[in-house]
Amino acid sequence: MELYSLTIHEARSLLAERKISALELTEAVLERILEVDNAIRAYLTLTPEEALEQARLADARRTQGDDAPLLGIPVAIKDVICTAGIPTTAGSRILENFIPPYDATAVAHLKAAGAIILGKTNTDEFAMGSSTENSAFFATRNPWDLERVPGGSSGGSAAAVAADECLGALGSDTGGSVRQPASFCGVVGLKPTYGRVSRYGLIAFASSLDQIGVLAKDVTDAAILLQVIAGYDPRDSTSVNLPVPDYMAALTGGLHGVTVGVPKEYFAAPEVMQPEVTAAVQAAVGVLADLGARILDISLPHTEYALPVYYLIAPAEASANLARYDGVRYGLRVERGDLIETYNATRGQGFGPEGKRRIMLGTYAWSAGYYDAYYLKAQKVRTLIRADFDAAFGQVDVIIAPTAPTTAFRIGEKVADPLQMYLSDIFTLSMNLAGICGVSIPCGFDHDGLPIGMQVLGPAFGEEQVLRVAYAYEQATEWHLRKPDDGRFRK
């Protein structure tokens, strides 16, 4: 077995037993990147020298008896998360030359745990998108089929994990951007509860929805990564001061006494649904039943409003968050005669079409005269969506749903029609509106050999039960062990 194809937990044992060194592992992954990333294009920035230096340091730390949880593990970071001294572009021209002076708290936690940062992964501009085609730089390709998108907006991170170009990665999820690319690339993608992981140093998109999450090769690795990045941070006022449970301990225990809810609204959208996705998720529910879970049909009646509510709230918050890119404090500056012209030229050239579309939608939703009709109304319906989940979690421990209505679509297929693109998130938006947690795990393949993902959703701070159910399913199936045929993308 090649070192780059190891999971984090496998590499961790080999490192602890001194069977491999962090340097060997990091070199193997860097070589892998050189070999495949011309075809996949998962990375925007690579930091090989720093990575090798960190690997040597990790080996030295281990010699001194250090056993930090990620000591010597090479990981990738979505380029909306700040890394000190390393460019952080958010996939946008407006931040093309931005080098943050500080690390995001999640990155600082990874480093303290001994992880090795390989580089920064491609993303839709400001994480706005579902295919990574909105990156100002280039599109990333799906390792299972290079003509298809990896999903988005954390498409670079998901593709890098799927193509063994890192052992695990950070992403961000505002409306599905960790879970949907995980499902398209056949990997595990965990969106923690709002407040569970600090967003300090995450470039803000929609602040009431944004959450940093992890992309991993299996559920155990997702638990390991979450363990490291979770916790209270006084620098993020929305992070919650609750103890971080032992997520590894939460994996085992099986499904006896666990009630699994199956919401009818997530299986009844034939106009957008690929039948193979429905069938795979229904079969997975059968597997959970065989493992001892009790299955309950439930309803989340306001599901159909998630898309319009999200596309009012997210752009409104985005329009405010993006106001800071004015060519004065940081990022691109297109100098013109006076200040207003400089603002206009900077923002006109710096933002791509999707960023501009969101700013216009959001400014409209927040403008005097329309505020009550759109934004305020959306907030009220958001409360109803949240109440749906509260009621459901009064009856069940977790909820199972498809992650996306289809498998990975073709590059270019939806770029001309934003509404079609937005529809790829109909099953992931509600969880951000409600602030709850969930994971996407592989649950099958379609007739083209493309991965299918399903979500295991839990209430706020229910990561333990989510991981336990996901792990039980993973142990009973082999979907997560399949890898894309790398003959497609190896040099």
Answer yes or no whether residue 176 interacts with ligand GLN by CB under 6 A.
Answer: yes
Residues 6+ apart with CB under 8 A from 446: 274, 276, 277, 407, 452
Answer yes or no whether residue 128 interacts with ligand GLN by CB under 6 A.
Answer: yes
Stretch near ligand GLN under the rule CB under 6 A, chosen from 71-79, 166-174, 333-341, 450-458: 166-174
Sign of CA dihedral 300, 305, 311, 317: negative
Count the site residues for ligand GLN by CB under 6 A: 14
Nearest to 455 by CA among 333, 310, 277: 277
Answer yes or no whether residue 174 interacts with ligand GLN by CB under 6 A.
Answer: yes
Comparing CB distances to ligand GLN, the nearer of 205 and 489 is 205
Residue 5 CB, nearest distance to ligand GLN (Å)?
Answer: 28
Angle at 58 between CA 52 and CA 59, to 5 degrees: 95
Answer yes or no whether residue 130 interacts with ligand GLN by CB under 6 A.
Answer: yes
Residue 95 CB, nearest distance to ligand GLN (Å)?
Answer: 16
Answer yes or no whether residue 175 interacts with ligand GLN by CB under 6 A.
Answer: yes
The residue whose two tokens read 């034939």 is: 270
| Neighbouring C-alpha atoms within 13 Å toward the C-beta of 294 | 9
Residues with a known catalytic role: 78, 153, 177
Determine which residue in the list 117, 229, 277, 314 makes contact with ligand GLN, applying CB under 6 A.
314
Answer yes or no whether residue 156 interacts with ligand GLN by CB under 6 A.
Answer: no
Answer yes or no whether residue 129 interacts with ligand GLN by CB under 6 A.
Answer: yes
The order of strands in the sheet holding 259-263 is: 43-46, 116-121, 74-78, 168-172, 212-216, 188-191, 437-445, 451-458, 398-402, 259-263, 294-298
Comparing CB distances to ligand GLN, the nearer of 153 and 455 is 153
Residue 182 CB, nearest distance to ligand GLN (Å)?
Answer: 12
Residues in the chain: 491
| Ordered alpha helix ranges (H), 322-397 | 339-350, 353-365, 377-393
Answer yes or no whether residue 173 interacts with ligand GLN by CB under 6 A.
Answer: yes
Comparing CB distances to ligand GLN, the nearer of 315 and 327 is 315
> Are the CB atoms for 343 and 359 separated by under 8 Å?
no
Site string for ligand GLN, 205-224 (x = CB under 6 A): x-------------------
Q: What is the rounded CA–CA span in Å between residue 243 and residue 231?
A: 7
Alpha carbon dihedral 479, 480, 485, 491, in 10-degree steps, equals 170
> Are the CB atoms for 464 and 206 separated by under 8 Å?
no
Query: Alpha carbon of 287 to those of 280, 283, 451: distances in Å?
Result: 11, 6, 18
Comparing CB distances to ligand GLN, the nearer of 220 and 424 is 424
Answer yes or no whether residue 425 interacts with ligand GLN by CB under 6 A.
Answer: yes
Comparing CB distances to ligand GLN, the nearer of 51 and 434 is 434
> Are the CB atoms for 288 and 396 separated by under 8 Å?
no
Q: What is the rounded CA–CA span in Å between residue 272 and residue 424?
A: 9
Stretch near ligand GLN under the rule CB under 6 A, chosen from 31-39, 45-53, 121-129, 409-417: 121-129
Comparing CB distances to ligand GLN, the nearer of 344 and 420 is 420
Residue 358 CB, nearest distance to ligand GLN (Å)?
Answer: 8
At residue 235, the 3 state secondary structure works out as: coil
Stretch near ligand GLN under the rule CB under 6 A, chosen from 21-29, 88-96, 123-131, 256-264: 123-131
Residue 179 CB, nearest distance to ligand GLN (Å)?
Answer: 9
Residue 334 CB, nearest distance to ligand GLN (Å)?
Answer: 26
Stretch near ligand GLN under the rule CB under 6 A, chosen from 37-45, 53-61, 138-146, 175-183: 175-183
Comparing CB distances to ligand GLN, the nearer of 164 and 425 is 425
- Of all helices (H) and strands (E), which one includes residue 457? strand 451-458
Answer yes or no whether residue 177 interacts with ligand GLN by CB under 6 A.
Answer: yes
Residue 317 CB, nearest distance to ligand GLN (Å)?
Answer: 11
Residue 174 CB, nearest distance to ligand GLN (Å)?
Answer: 4
Q: What is the rounded CA–CA span in Å between residue 347 and residue 333?
A: 9
Comparing CB distances to ligand GLN, the nearer of 11 and 42 is 42
Answer yes or no whether residue 127 interacts with ligand GLN by CB under 6 A.
Answer: yes
Burial 41-65 (b: 16+ CB within 10 A, else e): bbbbbbbbebbbebbebbbebbeee
Q: What is the rounded CA–CA span in Å between residue 81 and residue 202?
A: 5
Residue 130 CB, nearest distance to ligand GLN (Å)?
Answer: 4
> Are the CB atoms for 323 and 382 separated by under 8 Å?
no
The binding site for ligand GLN (CB under 6 A) comprises 127-130, 153, 172-177, 205, 314, 425
